[in-house]
Amino acid sequence: MNLNKPTACPYSTQTSRTDQPELPLEKRWSADELCKQLQPPISSAAAIDLQKDAQLAWRNSVRCSGRARWRSLRVIDARSANSVEESFDALFEHLKRADANRSAESFITVFPEFNPDQAETRIWNHQLMRYAGYSGSNGSVLGDPMNIRLTQIAIDLGWQPPHQRSRFDILPIILQFRGKLHLRPIPTEYVAEVAIRHPEYPGIESLGLRWYTIPVVSDMLFASEQAIYPTAPFSGHYVSTEIAARNLADLKRYNQLPQIASAIGLDPSKHAQFWIDRALVALNEAVLWSFEQAGYRIVDQHTVSAEFASFCNKEDRNERIVHGDWPWLIPPMSGASTPIFFRSFEPKIELPNFLYQTVPWNTPSGQAALAAST
């Protein structure tokens, strides 16, 4: 397989659309820059089919293997939010609805579209719920290393971490609204977490691991040919590998595989045969079992890959090419055992879609808002 020159999904022989501007896969956009490139027409909110555009954006998401459920996406219309409080209320409503369905349904909350003549609204958190990362003077990190910068910004804005800091302190939501930053802790009634346990290895529970139940991606830009929405958090359910093979296992995240190995009776210091692999399997088993025991929807990598293969078949029958970014569609474990491993995809961005945004504290408007708020 030549990943440098990916081809279209072999399920389809149709050509791609050529009437849209080329949008680089890795580029991080500012809403202003994208607006200048797309030049969306001035349309009234009533003229935009928000439900259809949001569903198509999910269907077109090249790095999502869960697209088989794209028609199930439900829209929470927050385009009329006109104050800080209304904005936070909409975010908390999203968490409430997602938790009420135990992640069985997918939601997107869409805030006002981008207007280049007005200060933009943005959420600074990568996901609405994130764990703090505290950097120690000796270079150590307590919590999630991915969130060190966001944690410090929250502290600078007045957030007070718990007196006894831990690895799993929920960060407040940081909202950029009309030129200033606003911070709100997530009310406890909207915070749902699962303690990670294993039905056969009690030592895993003693590690004190846990994870929040609802992934709400909140820093991507939702764009169609008619409108651009810098704030449009969306949620679904987890694939177990997202938590067990990445968040809790990555060397630059929680790096828990050595501790998991010890908990299941392996000695990583002696380089026991396949200890990493066995620890990964045990941690995935623990995450799956823990979420299922708590009643939250979660799937394993084989299930989501089979669903994605079925999605490709359906798209082929509808004469649509499936675009995708192969390294993101293949799960971080058992990849060669999934039905999509030997398939190639063209990583082409078509609108509507979800695009990466420039990190907020690196933008002129974000830096100005930070300076005005601290």
**Residue 7 domain-assigned?**
no
- Buried b or exposed e, range 327-358, using 16+ CB within 10 angstroms: ebbbbbbbeeebebeebbbbbbbbbbbbbebb
**Residue 344 domain-assigned?**
no
Q: Cα-atom radius of gyration of the chain, to the nearest Å?
A: 21
**Residue 292 domain-assigned?**
yes
Question: Count of domains in the chain?
Answer: 1
Query: Has this prediction a pTM greater than 0.85?
Result: yes
Domain that holds residue 150: 31-329+355-373
Which pLDDT score, from 0 to 100, does residue 359 have? 96
Which pLDDT score, from 0 to 100, does residue 44 have? 59
**Residue 1 domain-assigned?**
no
Which pLDDT score, from 0 to 100, does residue 10 have? 36
Regions of the chain where pLDDT drops below 50: 1-17
**Residue 3 domain-assigned?**
no
Partners of 220 in the β-ladder: 356
**Residue 295 domain-assigned?**
yes
**Residue 347 domain-assigned?**
no
**Residue 211 domain-assigned?**
yes
Which pLDDT score, from 0 to 100, does residue 47 have? 66
Which pLDDT score, from 0 to 100, does residue 75 have? 97
CA distance 116 to 111: 15
Peptide bond into 41 cis (omega under 30): no
